[in-house]
Structure 1
Amino acid sequence: MSRPVLLVVGAGPGVSGSVARRFARDGYDIELLGIDHDALHALTADVERTGAVAGYAHVDITDAGATAASIQLAGERRRRIDVVHFNPSAFREKDPLELSVPELLEDLALGVGGLLTAIQAARPFMSAGGRVTATGSMAADQPWHRAASLGVQKAGLRNLVRSLDTTLAPDGIRAVSVTVCGRLSQDGRFTPDRVADAIWDAAGQDVDTWLSEVEYGG
């Protein structure tokens, strides 16, 4: 039987990288999608040091066609996708009086729309027991006014995850967002590795008591 496969959408050196390494250590092969070629190359090497097989595609997640095509190729190559982890968001330091509608929509295309593209493309390769996880943020409930679009993205992401969970549940696939209730740091409770552990735990919830949102550090 082939090893399970984790697809990381928006892969990079932070939480998404820690998630990739966490799942790889527990027996998953990894597919990475992201825009930073150097970060993808470095993360692929990290994952392969665990003994996992890793592949990556250099793609702008806001390019729906390219993203869907990359996921389809990964699914056809692996013949399965067991977990999709969605990580990207756009940070734009503008308050609501400075932020334009086109800028807001551009940020939403990455931080929310990217999840829609990813799951629609990955769904043909997922089966019962599959999971969708997403990196959420306390910004959904406590937005910083100087980065107004980030709070809208995270609120929208959480809402979409809940809809996905309800839609996919009859097929045995569940979705969860992990709301990180603190700032990422290099030490303490909010290191990328500890957040990745929380995401791993959320994906492994008992289906009978499944929650579509889990808070970490609240």
Structure 2
Amino acid sequence: MICHFSLLVIFSLLVSQCHGGCAEVDSLTEAVAGEGFLLGCISCKRREEVRATTTVDWHFKPQGETHFKHIFYYEHPNADIKHEDFSGRLEWRGTPHSDIQIGAIYIHNVTFNDTGTYRCTFNRILFLKGSEESVTVRKMVELSVVAVANRELTAVISEIMMYVLIVVLQLWLILVLVYCYKKTTDEHEAREARKALKAQAALLETKDNCDGVQLE
């Protein structure tokens, strides 16, 4: 029982890494000039069973300026780049249907002029029983463009912790397997010993019966 429970726990931990639900993870905030960059934006529905349609707008305010400019609009299945500064450089990387929860876009060939504040806006219509409800969600991403990538300390620590967790889980699995194997072997040996004792007792009983017959 312990073996089966331990293996189930390990399996559940591993599966949860691959099949988790919607999670509102923040976007990365540092891009490298000349490379591509994924601007993340996630807005999870509170009730998955409710049907919805969503459109996504992206606005950009360059560093040092005060006004946002409309740069991108997505309404499944059409994507529209709204500003000439991003012409041919933006690509939809979000949810591939109308019930959008991931509104990410990919910037090709990032330049230093792309430094600034990006605003992602979800305009969602929820189809409730007998009515509709409009919901607007806005999220901000402060993007810095650098010449060379810098690994943030938190990212390094997270990566180290991930590998430590994997190693610990593997060691735990090995220990559980060894324990289960030893327990199974001990139980098998105990059964064989009981069988041998029963066979020996039966043999002695048969011998006693035979000796009693001879004495008569």
Q: Structure 1-normalised TM-score?
A: 0.22
Which structure has the larger Rg over C-alpha atoms?
Answer: 2
Greater per-residue strand proportion: 2
TM-score, structure 2 as length reference: 0.23
* Higher fraction of helix: 1
